[in-house]
Structure 1
Amino acid sequence: MAGGVDVGVLPQPFGEGFRDDPYAVYARLREQGSVHRVALPDGSAVWLVTHEADVRRGLADPRLSVDKRHAGDGFKGFALPPALDANLLNMDGDDHLRLRWLVAQGFTPRHVEGMRTSIRAAVDLFAGRLAARAAEDGTADVVAEFARPLPLKVIGDLFAVPEADRERFSGWVLTMLDPAGREELARAVGEIHRFFTALVAERRAAPGEDVLSGLIAARDVDDRLSEDELVSLAFLILMAGSENVQHLIGNGLFTLLTHPEQLELLRQRPELLPDAVEELLRHSLANQTAIRRFPTEPVEIGGVRVPAGDTVLLSLGSAHRDPARYPEPDRFDVTRADKGHLALGHGLHYCLGAALARTQLTLGLGALLHGLPGLRLAVPAADLAWTTTFRFHALRALPVSTAATPPPAGGRSR
């Protein structure tokens, strides 16, 4: 039982067919209606919302809370130690606005523009390493050589992580993103928690110009956040900033390499790259659902009454392929007129790091496309390994070459 419902009789859409092609599953669900009571792989019962209009409204509906205190006995999402759980993804109302205002100071478009030179230097560094590995070995993995280390370098700069600590810092984060099991995940989370606690103490003794120093000042001078909130915010910035950008670069480059006519258009017209980034955020977003929500009162979504306390999953993957909003939604088109999407949120929980993510995507993809003109998949698209769950759909590796000879044909792009 989950949420008071016998989940054994509920549809379970996230099985093998979903892993093969999640978008085909979404299409069938949308035809049947917008809101579905379904079971997650762990047996938890949730309400899955699939129509774009309802997902968009749900993201902005204050009655759909992210605060786990409003949850029933159903799915509550990823469990963190209490000291790391006091972050924006678990807060509504005044507490959310208070923390959001504090964190936003480090992510304004003006501040991100000031980071542009350092981001470009990081992009050039990892693009150069990727090119060297491809030249030496014949192939290189974009995920391992570029998409993973780039956002970790940017976040490390944002927090001014000492150079001597960066290798172990990166190692813990990579373990959290792809753990071998629960024990390994718990160890990595614990190490990151201890690291941030120690870094806060160091930065408190010797403040700098970094984001963490700004948060510490708010904690110590104006008492506007608790110690747990301070460390939790640092943890959230790290995880959201590293995981999401990694997946966007990997999925995005794969999409471009499997749509050669669009790739060639971008190479001929580099001014279209910002438009391509927006289309990739719609078409190739790894995140399949937004953060889970819990109605604070009974709500009607898509004509369905959802009880208070039940878990609601707003499907971004389905919304972005909804033909009621996007003509030919499965088609990737960098010249698409409708640039709107929900990849970075909507309403109160709109992504604070949106400008930083867009900058990394634009500079990163631009460097790969224009600095490595012979870039191509090193294996057939059908041979690539994906991690596909109700939470995200992302490449595990993206082997490429810069040779002129294409890989054997095989499979369709996803």
Structure 2
Amino acid sequence: MPRTREQLPPEFFTAPEGNDLHGSNARLRATGCPVHAINYPVGGEGYVVADYATVLKAFSDPRLSKRVDNAPAWFRDLVKDSSPVLVRNMLTADPPEHTRLRKLVSRAFVPRRMELLRPRIQEITDELIDALPEQGEVNLMEFAFSLPMRVICEFLGVPVADRPQLHTWGNRLSGAPYPDAESNEKLKDASENIERYLLDLLADRRAHLGDDLVSILVRAADEEDRFTNDELVSTLVLLIIAGHKTTANLIGSGTHALLTHPDQLELLRDRPELADLAVEEFLRFESPVYRGTLRVAAEDMELGGCPIPKESFVHLLMGSANRDPDAFEDPDGLDITRTANRHLAFGQGPHFCVGAPLSRVEGRIAFTTLLRRLPGLRLAVPAAGVEWLFDNSTSRGLVKLPVTYDARLAADARPSADTSRDR
């Protein structure tokens, strides 16, 4: 569709004005119209939805399809050619297909099972902190990425030596598709490599079933005879991508929020029992997934009073909805005691994030352990010097998080009153 003066440029997602995503979102909400045209993906007709009420309603609107087959032909062909491994899981399906595919993994991610993983997640967290220097400056995003990657790979039963390669492939796939041919060639290579790897993993696991998640999925698939190998591979790719990148952003962005709000930092140090509420507030305040994944109008429709033609892309701005003053009191303020926090960071409706229970457990453990074991934790650069990552994916996080601290306490130590405060 030709660009019009009223359209938002693609840079609204990849490089918002002044790198101020929240300011850009606030200006959209202030126009009084919740839906705005955008030239994204470039060459398609797209719309962003900025307010809480419309985003919430859209999450459960059956006219908004997740199926790539409902997208324009040029986009459908691009995705299926460059990253076919991504289009066979529940994230790119509508009911009843979505219901069938979600059933495959939902039993493995119930909160009760995630709580049983808590001791091992605590051990991994402590091991990663043990590897930090006794004091000084570190890039905390390395810790933030390592923790959920190790957890999901242990959950899947992936060998330690293979995890860095999975991380690289997962990062490439998370931005699919790309606006240029060179990047899509690299995407295709990553898609083919991870598919081969996971097919070999499935074959090995069928011969040696255990208690890991891959074995759970294989048993479910074979017992019910309702899932193909392609669907299993695509589901595993989804779990690898969603299982580490979004949680890494939660840990990194949440820590940054604390370190730039000293009163909240002190409150959580004094009252670690607030960790559950704090995690929900971090998810609202800096949503790790700032806009929803693929949604396409399956028919001509209207949303928020705006006509949406069939095959249009609809981008639900969860990060904007979570700062909407009509839904949250003092939305730009950080309050780790906030209750009735109905944020949309994990989505809503049938596509609510199946991995939310695991991400929440990892976040609670990460924040409380960091504050307990690293007294004097603080930013090592001015707050304005921290760079946010804006790329082709739907996630948002920090490029680096330089921090420093006064000491690295033992895993079983308890900080004394004079070493647990900022300096």
Same fold (TM over 0.5): yes
Select between 318-327 and 81-90 the one with higher mean Cα deviation. Answer: 81-90
Describe the SS at the equivalent of 1:105. Answer: helix
Structure 2: 5+ residue stretches without partners: 408-423
- Matched-pair contact (CA < 8 Å) for 1:147–1:250: yes
**Distance between the aligned counterparts of 2:353 and 2:117, measured in 1?**
18
1:132-143 alignment runs, 5 A limit: 132=133, 135=135, 138-143=136-141
Return the match for 2:313 from 311, 314, 319. 311
CA separation in 2, counterparts of 1:173 and 1:294?
A: 24
Instruction: Report which stretch shifted further, 184-193 or 26-35.
Output: 184-193
2:154 pairs with 1:151: no
Q: How far apart are residue 188 of structure 1 and its match?
A: 3.4
Partner of 1:201: 203
Structure 1 letter corresponding to 2:332: D
Give, as a single letter, the amino acid of the residue that structure 2 aligns with 1:143.
M
Contact 2:169 2:194 in 1 (8 A): yes
| SS in structure 2 of the partner of residue 292 of structure 1 | coil
The answer to whether 1:36 aligns with 2:36 is: yes
> SS of 1:326's equivalent?
coil
Query: What is the CA deviation profile of residues 219-269 of structure 1, one whole-angstrom value per residue up to 9, with x for unaligned ones?
Result: 333211111101000110000111111111111100110001100011111
Q: Which moved more, 1:49-58 or 1:375-384?
A: 375-384
Residues in 2 aligned to 1:60 and 1:294: alpha-carbon distance in whole angstroms? 13
Q: Which moved more, 1:349-358 or 1:30-39?
A: 30-39
Residue matched to 1:265: 267
- Which of 188, 191, 197 aligns to 2:190? It is 188
Deviations 1:291-325 (A, max 9, x none): 12112222221111212221111111110111111
How big is each residue's C-alpha offset from its partner over 1:109-157, in whole Å with a ceiling of 9 and x where there is no partner?
A: 1111111111111111112223x2x62xx2111111x111111111111
Alpha-carbon deviation of 1:86?
0.1
Structure 1 residues 311 and 374: CA distance shift in structure 2, 3 A: same
Q: What does residue range 328-347 of structure 1 map to in structure 2 within 5 Å? A: 328-347=330-349
- In the other structure, the counterpart of 2:280 is 278
| More deviation, 361-370/11-20 | 11-20
Offset at residue 42 of structure 1 (A): 3.3
User: 1:174, 1:84 → 2: CA distance?
Assistant: 13
**Alignment match, 1:7:** 3
Q: 1:394 aligns with which of 374, 397, 405?
A: 397
Q: Give me the whole-angstrom Cα distance separating, in 1, the residues matched to 2:294 and 2:163.
A: 32
Q: Which segment drifts farther, 56-65 or 187-196? A: 187-196
- Aligned position for 1:62: 62
| Cα distance in structure 2, aligned partners of 1:78 and 1:250 | 30
Contact 1:290 1:313 in 2 (8 A): yes
Offset from partner CA, 1:23-76 (integer Å, 9 cap, x none): 111111112110111223735431111110000000111221101111235867
Give the aligned residue type for 2:141.
Answer: V
Percent identity among equivalent residues?
38
1:286-365 to structure 2, matched below 5 A, reads: 286-365=288-367
Q: Which amino acid aligns with 1:159?
A: L
Q: 1:35 to 1:177 in 2, by over 3 A?
A: closer
- Please state if 1:161 is matched with 2:161: no
Q: How far is 1:7 from its partner?
A: 2.0
Offset, 1:218: 2.6
The structure-2 alpha-carbon separation of the partners of 1:294 and 1:181, relative to structure 1 and needing over 3 Å to count, comes to closer
Matching residue's letter, 2:120: S
1:93 corresponds, among 92, 95, 104, to: 95
Q: Does the 8 Å contact 2:111/2:357 carry over to 1?
A: yes
TM-score when normalising by structure 2: 0.87
